[in-house]
Chain A
Amino acid sequence: MKDMADSYVTADGRTIGPVVMEMKNITLRFGGVEAIKDISFDIREGEIRAIIGPNGAGKSSMLNVISGFYVPQEGEVWYKGARRPAMKPFEVAQQGIARTFQNIALFEGMSVLDNVMTGRLTHMKTGLFAQSLWKGKAEAEEIANREVAEKIIDFLEIQAIRKTPVARLPYGLKKRVELARALAAEPSILLLDEPMAGMNVEENADMSRFILDVNDEFGTTIALIEHDMGVVMDLSDRVVVMDYGKKIGDGTPSEVRNNQAVIDAYLGVAHD
Chain B
Amino acid sequence: MNEQLAFTIEVFANGLMAGVLYALVALGFVLIYKASGIFNYAQGVMALFAAMTLVGIQNGQVPFAHLINAIFGTDVHKFGWSVHSFVAIVLTVFVMIALAWAVQRFVFRHLVGQEPIILFMATIGLAYFLEGVADLMWGSELKALNVCSSDGTCLPQGMNMWLEGTTYEALGYGFFIDNLDIVASIVAVILVVGLVMFAQYTKQGRAMRAVADDHQAALSVGVSLNFIWILVWSLAGFVALVAGIMWGAKSGVQFSLSLIALKALPVLMLGGFTSIPGAIVGGLIIGVGEKLFEFLIGAPFLGGATENWFAYMLALLFLVFRPQGLFGEKIIERV
Contacts and interface: CB of A to CB of B under 8 A. Distances in A.
Query: Direct A–B touching in the complex (beta carbon < 8 Å)?
Result: yes
A69 B335 CA distance: 9
Nearest to A70: B335
Contacts of B335: 64, 69, 101, 105
Contacts of A105: 335
A64 B335 CA distance: 8
A271 B269 CA distance: 53
Interface in B312-335: 335
Nearest to A99: B335
Nearest to A69: B335
Interface string A82-107: 00000000000000000001000100
Interface in A17-65: 64
Chain A interface, >50% SS class: loop
Contacts, number: 4
A69 B333 CA distance: 11
Chain B interface, >50% SS class: loop
B333 to A, nearest CB: 10
Contacts of A64: 335
Nearest to A63: B335
Contacts of A101: 335
A64 B333 CA distance: 13
Contacts of A69: 335
Interface string B58-90: 000000000000000000000000000000000
A228 B308 CA distance: 61
A105 B335 CA distance: 8
B115 to A, nearest CB: 11
A101 B335 CA distance: 7
A167 to B, nearest CB: 13
Interface string A144-167: 000000000000000000000000
A47 to B, nearest CB: 25
B285 to A, nearest CB: 28
Nearest to A102: B335
Nearest to A105: B335
A101 B333 CA distance: 14
Nearest to B332: A30
A81 B335 CA distance: 28
A183 B335 CA distance: 19
A236 B296 CA distance: 70
B14 to A, nearest CB: 42
Interface in B187-205: none
Interface string B252-295: 00000000000000000000000000000000000000000000
B335 to A, nearest CB: 6
B200 to A, nearest CB: 28
Interface string B188-228: 00000000000000000000000000000000000000000
A195 to B, nearest CB: 16
B330 to A, nearest CB: 11
Interface string A60-81: 0000100001000000000000
A40 to B, nearest CB: 24
B331 to A, nearest CB: 15
A154 to B, nearest CB: 29
Interface in B83-103: none
A80 to B, nearest CB: 25
A101 B334 CA distance: 11
A244 B335 CA distance: 20
A250 to B, nearest CB: 26
A224 to B, nearest CB: 16
B114 to A, nearest CB: 15
A133 to B, nearest CB: 32
A193 to B, nearest CB: 9
4 contacts: A64-B335, A69-B335, A101-B335, A105-B335
The 4 A-B pairs of least Cβ separation, nearest first, read A101-B335, A69-B335, A105-B335, A64-B335
